Amino acid sequence: MTTSFSQLSLAPTLARAVAEMGYEHMTPIQAQAIPVVLEGRDVMGAAQTGTGKTAAFSLPLIQRMLKHENASTSPARHPVRALVLLPTRELADQVAQQVKAYAKYTQIRSAVVFGGMDMKPQTVELKAGVEILVATPGRLLDHIEAKNCVLNQVEYVVLDEADRMLDIGFLPDLERILSFLPKTRTTLLFSATFSPEIKRLSGSYLQNPVTIEVARPNQTASTVTQHFYNTPTDEKLHALVTLLKQKDIKQAFVFVNSKLGCARLARSLEKAGYKATALHGDKSQDERLKALDAFKSGTVDLLVATDVAARGLDIKDVPAVFNFDLPFNAEDYVHRIGRTGRAGATGIAISFVAPADVRLVADLEKLLKTKLDVEGIEYPEYLPDSRKQGRINDGRRMYADRDTSSETMSGEAPRRTGNNANRSQNGRDRMESFESRSDKSGSSAAYVPKVAPRDPFFDKPYEMTSDMPATPAWEAAAKAGPTRVGKSANIRPKKRMAALFKSVVLPEKIEEPAQPNTSPESVQSE
């Protein structure tokens, strides 16, 4: 098996671009997938995140499409021949940039379309003609319905991060998109995991695929050192600042579970003196791209993100990843920590385990097939207590124990452990030093806080005066009953409306005159 890019039979233009990017040796997924794709066979690949899956399908696709290369300006000479589908906007933009870098010395055109941006510039680029189209499913369907692109000449389809697309409900969109494609095509499916849903998808749309697994499914990268710390919810920020100082971490991802918590944590870190920014779904696409660019350039040290950034983002030389919140889905943990230790580099992954995370820890142990070693954190005294900084993650206010002052004043020793004990002891030391200074100044009395003067009027019990009526006026009026005459002013009078139908006047009954009695009895009486 070849392990060097120089041993591949790549075109000179393509090999030149690869050499300029500094690629020398292939990763395991590249060494196994590239020769199979060059043969034109379907591939079902599973690899650890960060192992170079993008180059594994991009390079052989460009190599096989060089036979269609032409310098014509006619859009008809540049139909869509390769379609790459991805779940998120950030990942689509990243893959599109890499494809452009690989094909920059060729005549192969590429474009990217995703939501959150104006469709007009994308439409202009599509109608000019592109061979490689990178897209998210939703926005691609918009362009298909608008007849901005035609997919009847597609030869290659790539479903990257397929498990993520299924998780966020893209299966109906995928099925609809694939219905527009020719039946004869090469389909490449790449995923970090081989779930039953992924296997069913591959069985429906792949033809005799070559299965490539470079690691056990759901396995974390061996280049990432993992640590788990037992941290209560109200001490997570303090723990984060402590570990950043202790381990001298200059740049890191910090993952949380909610968009609101993401924004609040970013603000709290900025108040603590760090250059931090938030990345979540409520951000516009322009804001999200600016945040990523700032993090890549080193302008921002801490990128606080939800799982929108956990899949596929390739940012080099990120030394650490913090799981401020454990993910609800255990598989997302694999993707989160895959943002560090990429392409053979080493990295560190730190996760905070709260008491309420028992079920999440159990799911994670089941996925990783190992027992997690949860450690404790030793806080140095010079760091401020971050719990006094207000709202952190879940909307609850984090303050120190309110009973500390009362316990100290009463002479009872508060029950504290760790850094809390140190802080309480420091408080008692300050109080003792204050009392000793007072004794030296000639005052034997202990410190007593000032109390506002009280009005003696409010200490007297209620007494009824003689001039007050025995029964309140409102109660007497209620017992007397209503005194109004006629209708109340609050009752609106009924409007007189014309009758829709006239009433029928019945004719009066006419009495008939009495008839003379002609019976035999009346005649005899006469």
Calpha distance 507→391 (Å, rounded) = 86
Residue 429 lies in a domain: no
Per-residue pLDDT at 493 exceeds 70? no
Calpha distance 211→209 (Å, rounded) = 6
The reported pLDDT for the residue numbered 478 is 57
Calpha distance 278→388 (Å, rounded) = 22
206 and 93, same domain (yes or no): yes
pLDDT band at 159 (very low <50, low <70, confident <90, very high): very high
The secondary structure element, H or E, covering residue 82 is strand 82-85
181 and 320, same domain (yes or no): no
Per-residue pLDDT at 112 exceeds 80? yes
The reported pLDDT for the residue numbered 479 is 60
Number of domains in the chain: 2
Per-residue pLDDT at 437 exceeds 70? no
The reported pLDDT for the residue numbered 280 is 84
Residue 381 lies in a domain: yes
271-284 confidence digits (pLDDT tens)? 988 999 998 878 87
The reported pLDDT for the residue numbered 481 is 58
Q: Which pairs with CB-CB distance under 8 Å and at least 24 residues apart come from 211-214?
A: 211/44, 211/45, 211/46, 212/29, 212/32, 212/33, 212/36, 212/43, 212/44, 212/45, 212/46, 212/47, 213/45, 213/46, 213/47, 214/27, 214/28, 214/29, 214/32, 214/46, 214/47, 214/48, 214/51
235 and 303, same domain (yes or no): yes
Residue 8's nearest CA partner among 25, 21, 28 is 25
**What are the tokens at 133?**
């189209």
Determine the longest span between alpha carbons in the chain, in angstroms.
152
Mean pLDDT of 55-77: 91
CB distance 343 to 54 below 8 Å: no
In the chain, % of residues over pLDDT 70: 67
The reported pLDDT for the residue numbered 340 is 82
CB atoms within 10 A of CB 464: 7
Check residues 164 and 182 and name the one with the higher pLDDT.
182
The reported pLDDT for the residue numbered 132 is 95
Residue 132 lies in a domain: yes
242 and 209, same domain (yes or no): no
pLDDT band at 289 (very low <50, low <70, confident <90, very high): confident
Mean pLDDT of 375-397: 55
Q: Is the dihedral of CA 499, 502, 503, 509 positive or negative?
A: positive
CB distance 262 to 276 below 8 Å: no
234 and 192, same domain (yes or no): no
**What are the tokens at 395?**
């909307």
The reported pLDDT for the residue numbered 367 is 83
113 and 47, same domain (yes or no): yes
Per-residue pLDDT at 69 exceeds 50? yes
Calpha distance 499→198 (Å, rounded) = 73
215-264 confidence digits (pLDDT tens)? 555 566 677 889 999 999 889 999 999 999 988 898 999 999 988 899 89
Calpha distance 304→276 (Å, rounded) = 7
The reported pLDDT for the residue numbered 473 is 62
Calpha distance 373→71 (Å, rounded) = 60
Per-residue pLDDT at 444 exceeds 80? no
pLDDT band at 511 (very low <50, low <70, confident <90, very high): low
Calpha distance 163→44 (Å, rounded) = 12
pLDDT band at 298 (very low <50, low <70, confident <90, very high): confident
Residue 523 lies in a domain: no
Calpha distance 200→196 (Å, rounded) = 6
Residue 310 lies in a domain: yes
Concatenating the DSSP letter of every residue in 267-329 gives HHHHHTT--EEEE-TTS-HHHHHHHHHHHHHTS-SEEEE-GGGSSS---TT--EEEESS--SS
CB atoms within 10 A of CB 211: 14
Q: Which domain holds residue 297?
A: 224-398
Residue 75 lies in a domain: yes
Per-residue pLDDT at 94 exceeds 90? no
Calpha distance 74→346 (Å, rounded) = 48
| CATH number, residue 268 | 3.40.50.300
- What residues does 156 pair with on adjacent strands? 82, 186
Considering only 12-21, 53-62, 192-201, 298-307, which range has the smallest mean pLDDT? 192-201
Residue 67's nearest CA partner among 15, 107, 12, 119 is 107
Residue 448 lies in a domain: no
26-47 confidence digits (pLDDT tens)? 888 888 899 999 998 999 988 7
230 and 188, same domain (yes or no): no
